[in-house]
Amino acid sequence: MGLTEVAAQLRRPRVFLIVIGAVAATTLLSGCTANEAFFFDMPEPATKEAHTILNLWNGSWIAAWGVGIVTWGLMLWAAVAYRRRHKDEVPEQTTYNMPLELLYTVVPLIMILGLFWFTARDQSELLTMENDQVQTVNVVAYRWNWGFNYLDEDVYTVGTPAQNSVLVLPVNEKVRFELTSPDVIHSFWVPDFLFKMDVIPGKTNAFELTPDKIGTYVGRCAELCGVEHSQMLFSVKVVERAEFDAYVEQLKTQGQSGLLDTGRSTDEGQMPGETAL
């Protein structure tokens, strides 16, 4: 059967429905969950604020699927209702349809304004600094690693080329993140937090999150920052308060008191204007 014959078969409503059903069945039988199939499987939220982001994401996809279903339904209805019934039949020719044109203009405008309103509302909520944090961490992104200053405890930790940096946070305690960089633009991203923010030289970006699930989560730079961008990995370990206190004492014992000004280890050499520890 050639391509012409296949196309002719697909134009038949019954064959078209069978093909759509087969595609749907294949998707479901492949092991995809509903979350994977319809919302593209966002990570399970690991902070209290992440649920707001997840709800916005899922709501956007519900709206998108609604538009898709209506559009596909109209396409199928048009293919069936206005199909050629006789070989020499010519469909009715029209220049415009005012109700349809109004529908295609007004409905997308309402949808765009609605999505903008929900996005602006959630963004305002997430970026509002209430300044009631329990912990403050200065994230220092640099080529090509991460340093973390625990401002309240006056200790720091920093990654090395051989070992990624680890950020330890107490569970169920609001954390204020202050992002700085001594060189180029980076981006602080923990996928399980459903949040990321750029780290810009000469500017301090900040946000607040409350980790509410104990575990270890992968973090990375989400901004193409140079040749070793792919190596800018770190991990976030969310623990009970007692374990966090023990970790702080361990840093002090290792001589990592004070604050890391640049994020660079002293054995990597200094750049002009940098302060050594």
In this structure, the answer to whether residues 222 and 193 fall within a common structural domain is yes
In this structure, the answer to whether residues 171 and 145 fall within a common structural domain is yes
End position of a domain, from candidates 109, 127, 145: 127
Its domain, for residue 175, covers 135-262
Q: Is residue 18, in this structure, part of any structural domain at all?
A: no
In this structure, the answer to whether residues 139 and 254 fall within a common structural domain is yes
The answer, yes or no, to whether residue 209 has pLDDT greater than 60, is: yes
In this structure, the answer to whether residues 123 and 141 fall within a common structural domain is no
Please identify which residue in the block is written with the tokens 């040749």.
227
Q: For 93-129, b where at least 16 C-beta lie within 10 A, e where not — what string? A: eeeeeeeeeeeeeeeeeeeeeeeeeeeeebeeebeee
The confidence score (pLDDT) of residue 224 equals 93
- Interatomic CA distance for residues 1 and 209, integer angstroms: 59
End-to-end Cα distance, the chain: 75
Q: Is residue 277, in this structure, part of any structural domain at all?
A: no
The band of 4, judged by pLDDT with boundaries at 50, 70 and 90, is: low
The answer, yes or no, to whether residue 214 has pLDDT greater than 50, is: yes
* pLDDT tens for each residue of 55-106: 999 888 888 888 888 889 988 888 888 777 777 777 777 777 888 888 888 9
In this structure, the answer to whether residues 209 and 236 fall within a common structural domain is yes
**Percent of the chain clearing pLDDT 90 (strictly above):** 52
The band of 248, judged by pLDDT with boundaries at 50, 70 and 90, is: very high
The confidence score (pLDDT) of residue 147 equals 94
The confidence score (pLDDT) of residue 35 equals 56
Q: Is residue 74, in this structure, part of any structural domain at all?
A: yes
pTM of the predicted model as reported, rounded to 2 decimal places: 0.75
The answer, yes or no, to whether residue 264 has pLDDT greater than 50, is: no
| Number of domains the chain is built from | 2
Q: Is residue 267, in this structure, part of any structural domain at all?
A: no
Q: Is residue 191, in this structure, part of any structural domain at all?
A: yes
The confidence score (pLDDT) of residue 80 equals 84
* pLDDT tens for each residue of 160-197: 878 899 999 999 999 999 999 999 999 999 999 999 99
Q: Is residue 182, in this structure, part of any structural domain at all?
A: yes
In this structure, the answer to whether residues 252 and 144 fall within a common structural domain is yes
Provide the mean pLDDT of the chain: 82
The band of 265, judged by pLDDT with boundaries at 50, 70 and 90, is: very low
Q: Is the four-CA dihedral 262, 178, 55, 174 of positive or negative sign?
A: positive
In this structure, the answer to whether residues 75 and 139 fall within a common structural domain is no
Mean pLDDT of 32-41: 58
Within 10 angstroms of residue 221's Cβ, the number of other Cβ atoms is: 26
Whether the Cβ atoms of residue 227 and residue 146 lie closer than 8 Å to each other: no
- Interatomic CA distance for residues 170 and 276, integer angstroms: 29
Q: Is residue 210, in this structure, part of any structural domain at all?
A: yes
In this structure, the answer to whether residues 115 and 143 fall within a common structural domain is no
Whether the Cβ atoms of residue 248 and residue 149 lie closer than 8 Å to each other: no
Q: Is the four-CA dihedral 264, 269, 272, 277 of positive or negative sign?
A: positive
* pLDDT tens for each residue of 123-143: 999 999 999 999 999 999 999
Question: 121: domain CATH number?
Answer: 1.10.287
The confidence score (pLDDT) of residue 84 equals 76
